Amino acid sequence: MSRSPLVAVFLSLAAAGCAEDLTISAADHGRDLYNSKALSSSSLNNYTCANCHTLERSDGGLRYTGGPLAGSTLRSSLWGGQENDLLRSINACRSYFMVAPEPLKADDPDAEALYAFLKSLEPGEPEPIPFTVVRMIEPIARGDATAGALGYTSTCGYCHGTMHEGLGRLSERVPILPEDTIEEHINYTPRDLRLVFIEKVRHGLFYGYGGDMPPFSTEVLSDAELADILEALGIYGE
């Protein structure tokens, strides 16, 4: 993986004879950036890094669209194999999802801080994280509403808030499910509306679909689990 610009900045601090103090300070600032919306100056930004990524892999609780960040400084590829440069990956997230108007440069203080923070998490998981995006959207079988209610809480609720009410959603621009999306597609047939929900989950803003939602890969959310969530939302396709 090409990490030379950020590594060079890091090493330059060491050469100055004050790397330890500066690195601690930078890592602390990087952690603050990870947990805040400050990585984008756009008023349209809904996200922090922590909305899509955990630091370490977790076997329970919420399921996030992005992979764990510990070890990202050591990976040979990122973004499901689309990138091999850490800074470009960070800027891709900022551009796609945070609506950041300008990319970070390697010598920007925020870039230095993010690298110091991610470096402090090593070794983590140094192998690339599998991330399969479903390109062709097709109908899926119906699921189980009881399981879907739990699935909604673990995969959708931390951004969209509670089902039907939107309590706790990230912002007022995040749709309340399913009502806001149904209203947006009021003239769609039930079958096509179900496909819309599937596409929103699988593509997010990718492939020109619109919005700023990150996609759920098949590794994070299976078709069967997605079917359960649609059942709980009452999106039957019939």
Model confidence over 37-95: pLDDT tens digits? 999 999 999 999 999 999 998 767 899 999 999 999 999 999 989 899 999 999 999 99
Q: What is the pLDDT of residue 34?
A: 97
Report the alpha-carbon distance of residue 188 to residue 237 in Å, rounded: 11
Distances (CA, A) of 198 to 34, 68, 168: 29, 24, 23
> Tens of pLDDT along 127-151?
999 999 888 999 999 999 999 999 9
What is the pTM for the complete model shown? 0.86
> Tens of pLDDT along 154-180?
999 999 999 999 999 999 989 999 999
> Tens of pLDDT along 80-131?
898 999 999 999 999 999 999 999 999 999 999 999 999 999 999 999 999 9
Decide: 105 and 60 in contact? Cβ < 8 Å: no
Decide: 233 and 177 in contact? Cβ < 8 Å: yes
pLDDT at 1 exceeding the cut of 60:
no
Decide: 215 and 203 in contact? Cβ < 8 Å: yes
Q: Report the sign of the C-alpha dihedral through residues 54, 57, 62, 64, in that order.
A: positive
Quick one: tokens of 42?
A: 């756009």
Q: Is 167 buried (19+), middle (13-18) or exposed (0-12) by CB count in 10 A?
A: exposed
Q: What is the pLDDT of residue 204?
A: 82
9 or 180, higher pLDDT: 180
